[in-house]
Amino acid sequence: MSKITRRDAIKLVAGAVVVAAPFTAAAAPDGFLEGTFYVRCKNGHDDKVEDITRNHDCKTCGEKSVDGGTAIVVCPDGHGGPENRVEGVTRQHQCQTRLPNGGICGKQCRR
């Protein structure tokens, strides 16, 4: 029976981590929007998306509105700019648009 030394065990574990690291990064899933949101394309058109949405093309112009879960969501007051960009898994979002009085809108963008 052969013995594995502590040094051999560390080499084995380190080698496995180096080999597995590229595969775990590549296998990471995209994000998505979960629920009902209005999303805005770069041309300013708003579309309603529902359920789980990873990707969505604008129904008006065909531009990408949701790309791998990244999107500009629109609040009930119509605010939808770069401050309301979401990424990853999004189940809710409070509007971050600055108001003239110095605060933020703060309304829930999920409908």
Per-residue pLDDT, 25: 47
Indicate whether 50 belongs to any domain: yes
pLDDT at residue number 106: 96
Q: What pLDDT is stored for residue 4 in this prediction?
A: 72
Report if residue 71 sits inside a domain: yes
Print the domain residue range for 46. Answer: 32-90
User: Is residue 52 assigned to a domain?
Assistant: yes
Residue 67 placed within a domain: yes
Domain total of the chain = 1
pLDDT computed for residue 6 by the predictor = 74
In tens digits, what is the pLDDT along the chain, a chain of 111 residues? 567 777 776 777 666 555 555 554 444 468 999 999 999 999 999 999 999 999 999 999 999 999 999 999 999 999 999 999 999 999 999 999 999 999 999 999 999
Give a yes or no: residue 103 inside a domain.
no
Q: Is residue 66 part of a domain?
A: yes
Please give the Cα distance from 94 to 83 (Å, whole number).
10
Q: According to the 3-state scheme, what is the secondary structure of the chain?
A: CCCCCHHHHHHHHHHHHHHHHHHHHHCCCCCEEECCEEEECCCCCEEEECCEECEEECCCCCCEEEECCEEEEECCCCCCCHHHEECCEECCCECCCECCCCCECCCECCC
Q: What is the CATH number of the domain that holds 65?
A: 2.20.28
- Confidence (pLDDT) at 65: 96
pTM of the complete model: 0.72
Tell me if 69 is assigned to some domain: yes
